[in-house]
Amino acid sequence: MLRTHTCGELTIENKCTKVTLCGWIQRSRDLGGMTFIDLRDRYGITQLAFNMEVNAQLCEKARQLGREYVIKVTGSVIERSNKNLKMSTGEIEILVDEIEVLNESKTPPFTIEDNTDGGEELRMKYRYLDLRRNILKKNLELRHKMSIETRKYLNSLDFIDIETPVLIKSTPEGARDFVVPSRINAGEFYALPQSPQTFKQLLMIAGYDRYYQIVRCFRDEDLRADRQPEFTQIDCEMAFVTQEDILTTFEGLAKYLFKNVKGLEIHDFPRISYSDAMKYYGSDKPDIRFDMKFVELNNIVKGKNFKVFDDAELVVGICAKGCGEYSRKQLDELTEFVKRPQVGATGLVYLRYNNDGTLKSSVDKFYDEDLLKKWAEAFDAKPGDLILILAGAAEKTQIALSCLRLEMGNRLGLRSPNKYAPLWVVDFPLLEWDEETKRFYAKHHPFTSPKPEDIPLLDTNPSEVRANAYDMVINGVEIGGGSIRIHDKMLQKKMLNTLGFSDEEAQIQFGFLMNAFEYGAPPHGGVAFGFDRWCAVFGGSDSIRDYIAFPKNNAARDIMIDSPAKISSLQLDELNIIVKDIVNKK
């Protein structure tokens, strides 16, 4: 090794030891008689000291070195006169007697400090420099730890890690595929997997009854802050299990990760049905770090000539504890908030429960004090509380109120990233109707099993069929989801028919799976977790990008390597691809 120690390990215990360190120059300070350099490597920072009186030539040399130069120094560990107890190496410094420049560095385009002056795009372009910063280093260390602990837990339960192919076949359903042209098979394409779903099911049929893989998946979707075209799943499948077995096993994984990565004991892991999640939180990924459940008011408020409520399919509200003193301005702000297009409400009705016990609403014209008392009772409100009500079409109103609930949670400081509230949402609907294409889509995916008792409804009322499907949610973020699968050919065929596939199309697209069902398919089910997302939630961040070493930007580009990029006409010819003019002109 070029070094005897790292920049993070020397303490007062090492006093008088002769050491050699390698690293990058974080900063240097020239104090006339003395020059100090902070030397950084992956493990920390160690202060180097050069004394003009002891070795003027060396001191002069040190002064010439710029930021991010890579150097190797040899010297003795001495006790610092000016200690910095915030740093693990803060009690010592190295009195250097030899210095070697291993490589020079241009001045970096942004400061490599915790609070950098570099904008996001610039830092993405020089990601290798950004990765030198503490924050990203900590994120990648957290990710590594998550991966190790996940493997430990699953290995201990006899799960086996099996790799599945990356060049597979494009199938309808789900998101858009990324495709790869085949040179050898002109005019044909592979697709990159959106998930190893069918392969893990085939592994169950093959008898590998507990599988996992921490695996890259690809979806060609429009990007959002928490989406990347390629992302990583903890993908799992089990045979001979019920839904209950899967929930317990992976609740176990979550608790294990909380304990071993975050040092937290999780006791409560509630389960709530999809319909209750929508009813009480207006969301299938409720943030239950705080209560503020929805209360439906249809029966109380209708028939009093207030047209907005009378015409509404749903009148529903929340009670914000202790917000009764909100000013006119604050209430106007909330009204503006709910009217934002992303939230989608047309207006906001409020009811203030004043500290003196009187009630004041924005619709006093229609409701006298006695009626308002009934509203307050429905929420179990107390003097000092504020009730916020939305009305309109049911689903739209639920979604809007869900946004308002989260906003109030933020305002009241109820959504601390250091508090964790995981839960399972269960009993999802099997299907989702799409008005535009006038057909059903699988809410989860086409291999999800309906609840056996709901199977007859497939013929009569498909939208009422519930699935044996579940999502794990932490702090309002969907961390993962899965289902018990169909393992019967006829039921799979029926499901595909319901999704609009003819028997023939079903055979072409999914014949390999349905045929496999004829060779002794065991009952099975599984789950997949968004690994990047889980890391972000544990790191207390909204953006998965900060937990991926080399992510893509908002336009799905890697601006460091400049990808995607054109390929040569020779390559195009080999692949039998003719690119439309529009691309070449770009």
Cα–Cα distance between 584 and 568 in angstroms, integer? Answer: 11
> Nearest approach, Cβ of 451 to ligand ASP (angstroms)?
16
Alpha carbon 228 to its chain's center: 10
Q: Which of 92, 320, 467, 527 binds ligand ASP (CB under 6 A)?
A: 527
Report the nearest approach of ligand ASP to the CB of residue 248 (Å).
16
Q: How far apart, in whole angstroms, are the C-alpha atoms of residue 285 and residue 293?
A: 14
Taking the least distance from each CB to ligand ASP, the nearer of 210 and 352 is: 210
Give the binding range for ligand ASP (CB under 6 A) out of 180-188, 253-261, 287-295, 522-530.
522-530
> Does the protein bind ligand ASP through residue 317 (CB under 6 A)?
no
CB of 251 to ligand ASP, least distance (A): 16
* Closest to 122 in 3D by CA, of 559, 525, 565: 559
Q: How far apart are CA 200 and CA 165, in angstroms?
A: 11
Nearest CA-CA partner of 107 in 21, 27, 22: 27
- The residue within the footprint of ligand ASP, chosen from 26, 28, 164, 195 (CB under 6 A), is 195
Binding piece for ligand ASP, criterion CB under 6 A, among 290-298, 423-431, 494-502, 520-528: 520-528
Fill in the DSSP letter of residue 176: P
Q: Are 220 and 553 in contact (CB under 8 A)?
A: no
For 37, other C-beta atoms within 10 Å of its C-beta total 28
In the complex with ligand ASP, the residue whose CB is nearer, 445 or 487, is 445
Q: How far is Cα of residue 123 from the mean position of the Cα atoms in its chain?
A: 21
- For 311, the token pair is 């015409």
Q: Select from 75-83, 287-295, 400-408, 523-531 the region that touches ligand ASP (CB under 6 A).
A: 523-531
For residues 50-89, which are near ligand ASP according to CB under 6 A? Answer: none
Listed ranges 98-106, 135-143, 178-186, 524-532: which one lies at the site for ligand ASP (CB under 6 A): 524-532
> Could you tell me which residues are beta bridge partners of residue 435?
none
- In the bound complex, what is the minimum distance in angstroms from residue 270's beta carbon to ligand ASP? 21
350 or 510, CB closer to ligand ASP? 510
Which of 324, 526, 539, 551: binder of ligand ASP (CB under 6 A)? 526
Q: Supply the minimum distance, in Å, between the C-beta of residue 232 and ligand ASP.
A: 11
CB of residue 381 to ligand ASP, shortest distance in Å: 40
Helices marked H in 282-341:
298-301, 307-310, 328-339
Burial class (CB in 10 A: 0-12, 13-18, 19+), 348: buried
Measured distance CA(185)–CA(190) in Å, rounded: 10
Closer to ligand ASP by Cβ: residue 429 or 526:
526
Site for ligand ASP in 120-179 (CB under 6 A): none
Interaction between residue 197 and ligand ASP (CB under 6 A): yes
Strands 359-361 and 386-392: unpaired
Q: How far is the CB of 537 from ligand ASP (least distance, A)?
A: 17
Residue-wise DSSP of 438-506: TEEEESS-TTBPBPGGGTTHHHH-GGG-BBSEEEEEETTEEEEEEEEBP--HHHHHHHHHHTT--HHHH
Please tell me the number of Cα atoms within 13 Å of 297 on its side-chain side: 35
Residue nearest to ligand ASP (CB): 195
Which residues inside 475-504 make contact with ligand ASP, applying CB under 6 A?
A: 481-483
Q: How far is the CB of 194 from ligand ASP (least distance, A)?
A: 7
Of 220 and 310, the one with the shorter C-beta distance to ligand ASP is 220
CB of residue 449 vs ligand ASP: minimum separation in angstroms?
Answer: 11
Rounded CA-CA distance 541/139 in Å is 10
**Binding footprint of ligand ASP, residue count (CB under 6 A):** 9
- Could you tell me the smallest distance in angstroms from the CB atom of residue 216 to ligand ASP? 12
Q: Rounded to the nearest whole angstrom, what is the least distance from the CB of residue 544 to ligand ASP in the complex?
A: 15
Between 231 and 309, whose beta carbon lies closer to ligand ASP? 231
Amino acid at 218: F
Residue selected from 528, 535, 536, 548 as contacting ligand ASP according to rule CB under 6 A? 528
Residue in 552, 565, 483 with CA at minimum distance from that of residue 524: 483
The nearest distance, CB 545 to ligand ASP, in angstroms, is 20
- Please identify, using beta-carbon distances, which residue of 165 and 417 lies nearer to ligand ASP: 165
**Residues 458, 459, 463, 466: what is their CA dihedral angle, to the nearest 10 degrees?**
-20
String of contacts with ligand ASP for each residue 438-477, x by CB under 6 A: -------x--------------------------------
Q: What angle do CA 52, 58, 62 make, to 5 degrees?
A: 95
Are the beta carbons of 479 and 433 closer than 8 angstroms? Answer: no
Query: Are the beta carbons of 306 and 446 closer than 8 angstroms?
Result: no
Please identify, using beta-carbon distances, which residue of 409 and 481 lies nearer to ligand ASP: 481
- Residue 193 near ligand ASP by CB under 6 A: no
Specify the stretch interacting with ligand ASP by CB under 6 A; choose among 71-79, 80-88, 454-462, 526-534. Answer: 526-534
Residue with tokens 């902070």: 38
Q: Which residue has the tokens 């030899």?
A: 98
Phi-psi region of 16 (alpha: psi -120 to 50; beta: other; left: phi over 0): left
Using alpha carbons, select from 278, 226, 281 the residue that is nearest to residue 404. 281
Q: Which is nearer to ligand ASP, 282 or 481 (CB)?
A: 481
Cβ at position 495, least distance to ligand ASP in Å: 14
Nearer to ligand ASP (CB atom), residue 139 or residue 195 = 195
What's the rounded Cα separation, in Å, for the pair 78 and 18?
Answer: 10
24 pairs with which residues across the strands? 40, 70
Which residues sit at the interface with ligand ASP, rule CB under 6 A?
A: 195, 197, 445, 481-483, 526-528
